[in-house]
A = this chain, B = another copy of it.
């Protein structure tokens, strides 16, 4: 597999690190960005044989089999259209579009061209995520009721992120796209996202877009997907997922508390931990960022999919759904009420909401709760099916009220 990378910024370097890792048989053959000087430096660092400053030229190059789009959000559409035109599989960084309309164009373009459109949602490929998702699918936590994902840090590194025009929004489009897709995976991709309630505000930075946001996404089966995002968090990068099911709980922490703790007075050397806000005191690095943040598994899945002529786990369709949910979130932040998720061409389940059935205690009662008393005996709280009256059943059954 011969790879072209479009873009030479932060994320391009991250991708290159990942592609270069562990003696892969995939190689980067092309690097393309507008700034010729940066392209040159990148090519030297990662030993890339061909370079370009023109996107169409890069995509069309005969030594390019697949294209990785690592450009600012406002350039995704143009790049994807070029790939569709050239008939080359395209892997696009997140978010897919600045909004659902852009994402839909990209989705339609790759499907019409008959090429793979891979959505580079790395956080849906972290080892912890993959293993916990498999557990959820095997039923380890029962039915998922609530799936929260949180990503907060002190703000992005490149200037274009801070431009609402170029990015399509602020921290919500930048970080919320991760969170939305993580929750959606846990709840089930076949379940329709129905409506969104969102708060978003610009609290700290002198920008037009939001730098803090919280949203609730309601799914057809009643489950709630929640996102919490911020560009003003202090203390490093907080990346956590929490899932509540009827039979269990999952807590994932991808940064800050992963079993790697380092204290330094700062006197010993010039050590600077990445993403830390300081180079002294207690620091919480991640062992192998590329791998633990999902990049290795993501690219393996993408390339295997292309090789085998099938779809990867995260596709342009998923990217489109995420954009549609975020569109609803922005609408809700403005209207201050729940806003419907507008999806064209939903491919999941019909999602007639099913009424939940409750466990019966006996013919006349539902069981609300069963509790073990210190004595080892069970205490039950039941509800009469007809009257709705709530009663308790204790071992020695003497009814009382004053508690």
Contacts and interface: CB of A to CB of B under 8 A. Distances in A.
Interface string A122-165: 00001111111001001111100110000010111111101100
B214 A226 contact: yes
A260 B132 contact: yes
Given A23-B24, A368-B155, A244 B272 contact: no
A23 B300 contact: yes
A204 B246 contact: yes
A364 interface: no
A212 interface: yes
A249 B224 contact: no
B203 A401 contact: no
State the 7 A-B residue pairs at the shortest beta-carbon distance, nearest first.
Answer: A9-B403, A281-B281, A139-B269, A127-B287, A127-B288, A33-B402, A253-B259
Interface string A169-185: 00000000000000000
Given A257-B259, A287-B126, A336-B337, A247 B232 contact: no
Contacts of A282: 235, 281-284
A17 interface: no
A328 interface: no
A270 interface: yes
A33 B299 CA distance: 34
Interface stretch (A317-325, A343-351, A385-393): A385-393
A250 B261 contact: yes
B277 A278 contact: no
A402 B287 contact: no
Chain A: interface size category = 35 or more
Given A23-B303, A204-B246, A259 B197 contact: no
A49 interface: no
Contact of A248 (B33, B132, B234, B403): B234
Contacts of A46: none
Interface stretch (A101-109, A112-120, A369-377): A369-377
A72 B257 CA distance: 37
A69 B211 CA distance: 44
A280 interface: yes
Interface stretch (A34-42, A60-68, A80-88): A34-42
Given A162-B381, A234-B263, A248-B235, A142 B268 contact: yes
Interface of A: 7-12, 21-26, 33-35, 37-39, 71-72, 126-132, 135, 138-142, 145-146, 152, 154-160, 162-163, 197, 199, 201, 203-208, 212, 214, 216, 218, 222, 224, 226, 230, 232-236, 238, 244-254, 257-272, 277-278, 280-288, 291-292, 296-297, 300, 303-304, 336-338, 356, 358, 366-369, 371-372, 374, 376, 379, 381, 383, 388, 390-392, 398, 400-403
A7 B140 contact: no
Contacts of A300: 22-23
B244 A233 contact: yes
A212 B148 CA distance: 14
User: Which residue of A263, A277, A284, A297 has the most chain B CB atoms within 10 A of its CB atom?
Assistant: A263
A136 B360 CA distance: 39
Nearest to A358: B206
A265 B252 contact: no
Given A23-B300, A292-B127, A338-B336, A262 B403 contact: no
A205 B391 contact: no
A277 B267 CA distance: 13
10 contacts: A7-B402, A135-B271, A138-B269, A139-B270, A207-B368, A234-B246, A234-B247, A234-B248, A234-B264, A265-B277
